[in-house]
Amino acid sequence: MTFILTHTLFAIFLGKLFALAPDEGAYLKTFNLLYGSTEIVNPQSFSGWITAPKLFLWISYLPAKILVLCGVPDYLSLRLLSILLTALSVYLLLEILEKSYIKSRYSQNIIFVVFFIPSVFLWTSVGLRESFIIAEIAIFLAGFNSFMQNINKRGVFLLFVGSYGLVSTKNYLWSCLMVALLLCSIIFLIQGINFRQVLKLLVVGLLSPAILFASTTSAYAWDFILHSDISETGQRSGDSISQVYIEIPSDGTDTGSGTGSGTGSGTGSGTGSGTGSGSGTPPARALITFHGDYTLISLHFYLLENPHSLFSRILKALQVDRKIEKIWEEKIRLGLIHKDNQVGTDTSSLNGHILKPGKISDPFSMIWPAIVFLCGPFPFIGDPGIAVGIASLESFLWWAFYALVFFQFIRFRKVKFLRDPAILFTLVFLAGEIAFSALVEVNLGTSFRHRSILLVPLVFLFVRLAQRAKELEDLESGVI
């Protein structure tokens, strides 16, 4: 309950602020167009759900839709759904410990604490896809673990649900998962695992979800998937572009009366701010192009539109609102004097940092991008900007968690973990996920967010190693 309550309070506190999760507004738009809209054929195209079947989204978003019908705001309904999915993930991981009769408060606390890593806490409290991905990987791994322990009905159900959910949510991650499944299936046969069990695993975890996805997704989604290319993805610019229309103040040449030099008719020589009743020309507008400044844009307009919200009041009390407006005005000034109304790229935000991904043709080029994905941003190095400086402090928590998982391998080094199907499969999947990220991540902001997906496989390794040790201990003592 504490887990759900803290996330819910944070989600309520954020209100309609989407600045901390730039894509949340797009997912909200897809959600609102999904039910009952006949004008938009593919509401998925407005967000990251671009390849998701409508059937999957109708079912997945149904709890949020029910909350909306009960009077809960749409943005909060999506956030509550994300929180419930994350809570399900935590429950499945804790259940592995409980079924092994491992009552260590230390292990249980570790699971809770890592889900409170600041960025993970944020992504799982807002209406993004991260909670879906985290839940789907947790469901699949829990199902895999049960299936390999001959708990067939539960294992089959969880494997199928997790696999179909992931291919509908993030097909490239599903591809990594299935490649790991195919590779490990060959290893399982070499290790002497029953052929029929391996075949059943492939049918339930790979073939059946793929057939259902192929029969429920749209031709538009298929075209998008079939024309995707890893090499082209890695060659994206990584630039995060936002465009905003800005009203340009009058230069004093408008026709009207009372324009700063008294009342009367004629052409005024002031700034066009008089209160006369003459006819004037509406203020001109300019389209300003920002690079990597979505958070600044969102905060600026949020403060204008929600001046009395709790979040706005806190920013005003800390005088952060003045800092935001100062930066905003400087950006606009720079944009207006640029010939193309472009605000130059800077490194004040995470999205302003462009990454150079590796190449498949040069495996060694993937090493540094993989290190950045796992361990970055690096604290106290250079002057990366305030956003990266704050985000880099979280890196210590990730490094500590990696050390804990590594220590768990050292602690249970006698369990022959490579002989355990669940541990072997998770290690292969993690390696594939890290390698793929090293090939496609072109922006520090998205790389920072996507790292949260590593959490569930790492936590699963942490708990499965303890479970494996307990199983071998019971086997040696004759309990099982």
The three state secondary structure string of 70-136 is CCCCHHHHHHHHHHHHHHHHHHHHHHHHHHCCCCCHHHHHHHHHHCCCHHHHHHCCCCCCHHHHHHH
Q: Is residue 475, in this structure, part of any structural domain at all? A: no
* Chain mean position to CA 205: 24
Query: How many CB atoms are located within 10 Å of the residue 448 CB?
Result: 25
Q: Is residue 450, in this structure, part of any structural domain at all? A: no
Q: Is residue 357, in this structure, part of any structural domain at all? A: no
Same domain, 205 and 244: no
Q: Is residue 358, in this structure, part of any structural domain at all? A: no
Question: What letter represents residue 158's amino acid?
Answer: L
- The predicted model scores a pTM of 0.85
| pLDDT band per the 50, 70, 90 thresholds, residue 243 | confident
pLDDT (mean) for 187-211: 95
Same domain, 8 and 157: yes
Listed range (44-48, 160-164, 259-263, 326-330) with the worst mean pLDDT? 259-263
Each residue's pLDDT tens digit, 35-78: 876 667 778 877 889 889 999 999 999 999 999 999 999 999 99
**Can you give the C-alpha Rg of the chain in angstroms?**
26
Q: Is residue 428, in this structure, part of any structural domain at all? A: no
In the structure encoding, which two tokens stand for residue 39, read together?
């004008």
Same domain, 335 and 191: no
Same domain, 215 and 121: yes
Report the C-alpha gap between 248 and 476 in whole angstroms. 79
Q: Is residue 50, in this structure, part of any structural domain at all? A: yes
Same domain, 191 and 85: yes
Instruction: Report which of 342, 300, 297 is spatially closest to residue 321, judged by C-alpha positions.
Output: 300
Report the C-alpha gap between 171 and 398 in whole angstroms. 26
Q: Is residue 423, in this structure, part of any structural domain at all? A: no
Same domain, 53 and 133: yes
Phi, psi for 273 (deg, rounded to 5): -110, 15
Report the C-alpha gap between 461 and 430 in whole angstroms. 10
Residue 328, domain extent: 240-248+281-344
Listed range (97-106, 282-291, 466-475) with the worst mean pLDDT? 97-106
Report the C-alpha gap between 64 and 336 in whole angstroms. 42
Q: What DSSP character marks residue 206?
A: I
- The C-alpha torsion from 214 through 217 and 220 to 223, rounded to 10°, is -20
Q: Is residue 221, in this structure, part of any structural domain at all? A: yes
Q: Which of 195, 212, 234 is the last residue of a domain?
A: 234
Domain count of the chain?
2
Same domain, 205 and 165: yes
Please provide the average confidence, as pLDDT, over all residues in the chain: 84
Same domain, 83 and 204: yes
| pLDDT band per the 50, 70, 90 thresholds, residue 479 | low
Same domain, 7 and 44: yes
Q: Long-range contacts of range 427-435, CB-CB < 8 Å, 24 or more positions apart? A: 427/461, 428/180, 428/183, 428/184, 429/176, 429/177, 429/180, 429/457, 430/454, 430/457, 430/458, 430/461, 432/176, 432/179, 432/180, 433/173, 433/176, 433/457, 434/370, 434/373, 434/374, 435/366, 435/370
pLDDT of residue 347: 58
Same domain, 307 and 201: no
Q: Which of 344, 374, 395 is the last residue of a domain?
A: 344
Same domain, 209 and 320: no
Same domain, 230 and 316: no
Q: Which of 329, 344, 359 is the last residue of a domain?
A: 344
Question: What letter represents residue 188's amino acid?
Answer: F
